[in-house]
Amino acid sequence: MAEQQEAVSDPYPPVDIARKVEGLGVTKAHTDTLTLLVLAVLAGAFISLGALFYSVVVTDSGLGFGITRLLGGLSFCLGLILVVIAGAELFTGNNLIAMAWASGLIGTREVIRNWIIVYLGNVVGCLGTVLLVFWSNVAQLGDSAVGQTLVNIAHTKADLSLSEAFTRGVLCNVLVCLAIWLAIGARSVSGKILAILFPITAFVAIGFEHSIANWFFLPLGAVLDVQNGVSLLPMVKNIIAVTAGNMVGGTLLVAGIYWLAYLRAERMRMPPPK
């Protein structure tokens, strides 16, 4: 029994995580369209719920900037925990598919297909959650303070310059993909949750930018602030810049680096496919 408990508590070594991520990339690339789309919609909704939880927690907090952001980041973790444990397809996490592509196990068309379907599904999930949150009047909580928090978040994101949005997107998805990397390395549900907490809390507390979360924050803030709503052009610029940054952070700085470190030598020794 003790040996079994020890085995469950021990994480997979990094090289085994790399192989598991590579294998998952192949599986994701070959998943049928309907399954991908349904799971992607779920992921968009899950991330949106985490974003809403964050907004409620940070509203009217008198604990000071750092502690408030820390608690908000912990709350936001709900989204990725649901994605990883309950099962869903998240665009930012699926940037790790690049490892399977680098190994030649899947083609460019398969990668692009997965990313497009999952991204669109995530957007649908986010916008659907925006409608439900709006209709449920959650913004009126705390004498409308929650609504004001959501409006302020949307304006802050829309006011970012392209370079700020891009670099914050890069740094965000480095931490998101590392959270997923660590979760894949854990053998138990509790271990996976713990692996997610620190990287995701860090990116939220620091103020990095997540493209899928922004598909919830920006539209909802615009809907809630009818008089001084967020303009469409700044919203579009933010989404484009953050999405590009997320892709660079996930594909190059996590998938690419770990592929070079752990899989490059293995794949170079593999015989060419027949």
Phi, psi of 218 (to 5 degrees): -70, -50
Domain edges within the chain: 30-137+149-267
Nearest one of 242, 199, 200 to 218, comparing CA atoms: 242
This prediction's pTM: 0.93
Q: What is the CATH number of domain 30-137+149-267?
A: 1.20.1080.10
At residue 34, the pLDDT reads 98
**pLDDT tens column, 106-147:** 999 999 999 999 999 999 999 999 999 999 999 999 999 999
Collapsed DSSP state (helix, strand, coil) of residue 20:
helix
Read off φ and ψ for residue 62, nearest 5 degrees: -105, 20
Please report, in tens digits, the pLDDT of each residue of the chain (274 residues total). Answer: 444 545 566 889 999 999 999 999 999 999 999 999 999 999 999 999 999 999 999 999 889 999 999 999 999 999 999 999 999 999 999 999 999 999 999 999 999 999 999 999 999 999 999 999 999 999 999 999 999 999 999 999 999 999 999 999 999 999 999 999 999 999 999 999 999 999 999 999 999 999 999 999 999 999 998 777 788 899 999 999 999 999 999 999 999 999 999 998 877 666 544 4
Angle between helices 232-247 and 162-185 (to 10 degrees): 40
